[in-house]
């Protein structure tokens, strides 16, 4: 029987790449997005590749909508083998004392509370079946703060702690937990952070060959496909000329 993976934030970047990579491995795909047009387009594209796809339209920030969507999953799709908590974002790069309240709320509601909601809804089934895997997409930003990163870095530090706590809680079971911490990945991440300022976003990646969404998806699939007795707890993935969240050598 084919395994089932549920991926949040699937309409772009790392989430989209995860859908493609897991689909190529023969997984049935439950894909999530909050934009109906983008989710429809992705679903059609994946189905045209021969993948089995179930789209779920909801915003992880909305706990009621998230709960209703997950509870609506048909019985033949309900036994989720892998949960990829990918939905997340950064907004703004201002000093903390000049930060935007709404940006803070959105990052906290998405990166922390949305991840927690999905975990609470999906993991109990894994525990009952005594099998499964949770892959959380963290960040190098969770290891140490950088200038202007303040709240975003705090949310990704929370992802690390929440992931570690879940792994401890699940140690009596066969459910595995992985935290993948990417460095510079060229997606729409910076465009979102800078509220659509394309020039500012492009400058983030100038002078360095950044990672791609597919690079991170490869790591996610590798962790999921490891033997059942192997739990890849945490993976830090950086571009070659990136030393940390704040050290990037541009050439």
- Where in the chain are the domains? 4-237
Distances (CA, A) of 180 to 163, 212, 219, 228: 10, 14, 8, 18
The percentage of residues in the chain with a pLDDT greater than 90, rounded to a whole number, is: 90
DSSP 8-state secondary structure symbol assigned to residue 75: G
Closest CA to 3 of 35, 51, 39: 51
pLDDT at 37 exceeding the cut of 90: yes
Retrieve residue 126's tokens: 């894994």
Q: Per-residue pLDDT tens for 111-164?
A: 999 999 999 999 999 999 999 999 999 999 999 999 999 999 999 999 999 999
Question: Can you give the C-alpha Rg of the chain in angstroms?
Answer: 17
Gap between the Cα atoms of 56 and 43, Å rounded: 10
Q: Per-residue pLDDT tens for 88-98?
A: 999 999 999 99
Closest CA to 80 of 167, 2, 6, 179: 6
Q: Where does the pLDDT of residue 189 fall: very low under 50, low under 70, confident under 90, or very high at 90 and above?
A: confident
> So what's the pLDDT on residue 197?
78
Contact 247, 219 (CB under 8 A): no
Q: What element of type H or E holds 29? A: strand 28-33
Q: Per-residue pLDDT tens for 9-28?
A: 999 999 999 999 999 999 99
pLDDT at 5 exceeding the cut of 90: yes
Q: Per-residue pLDDT tens for 160-173?
A: 999 999 999 999 99
Retrieve residue 213's tokens: 């969404």
CATH topology of domain 4-237: Rossmann fold (3.40.50)
Between 202 and 211, name the one with better pLDDT: 211
Q: Does 152 qualify as catalytic in the annotation?
A: yes
């Amino acid at each position: 029987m084919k395994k089932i993976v549920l991926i949040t934030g699937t309409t772009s970047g790392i989430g989209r790449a995860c859908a493609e990579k897991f689909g190529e491995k023969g997984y049935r795909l439950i894909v999530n997005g909050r934009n109906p047009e983008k989710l429809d387009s992705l679903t059609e594209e994946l189905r045209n590749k021969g993948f089995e796809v179930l789209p779920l339209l909801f915003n992880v920030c909305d706990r009621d909508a998230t709960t209703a969507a997950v509870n609506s999953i048909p019985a033949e799709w309900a036994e989720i083998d892998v949960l990829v908590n990918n939905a997340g974002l950064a907004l703004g790069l201002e000093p903390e004392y000049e930060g935007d309240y709404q940006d803070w709320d959105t990052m906290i509601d998405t990166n922390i509370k949305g991840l927690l909601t999905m975990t609470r809804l999906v993991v109990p089934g894994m525990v009952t079946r005594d099998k499964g895997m949770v892959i959380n997409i963290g960040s190098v930003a969770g290891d140490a703060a950088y200038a202007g990163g303040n709240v975003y870095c705090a949310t990704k530090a929370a992802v690390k702690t929440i992931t570690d706590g879940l792994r401890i809680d699940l140690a009596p079971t066969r459910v595995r937990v992985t935290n993948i911490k990417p460095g510079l990945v060229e997606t729409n991440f910076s465009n979102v952070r800078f509220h659509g300022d394309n020039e500012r976003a492009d400058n983030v990646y100038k002078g360095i060959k950044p990672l791609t969404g597919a690079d991170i998806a490869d790591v996610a699939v590798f962790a999921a496909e490891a033997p059942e007795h192997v739990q890849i707890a945490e993976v830090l993935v950086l571009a070659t000329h990136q030393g940390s969240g704040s050290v990037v050598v541009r050439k």
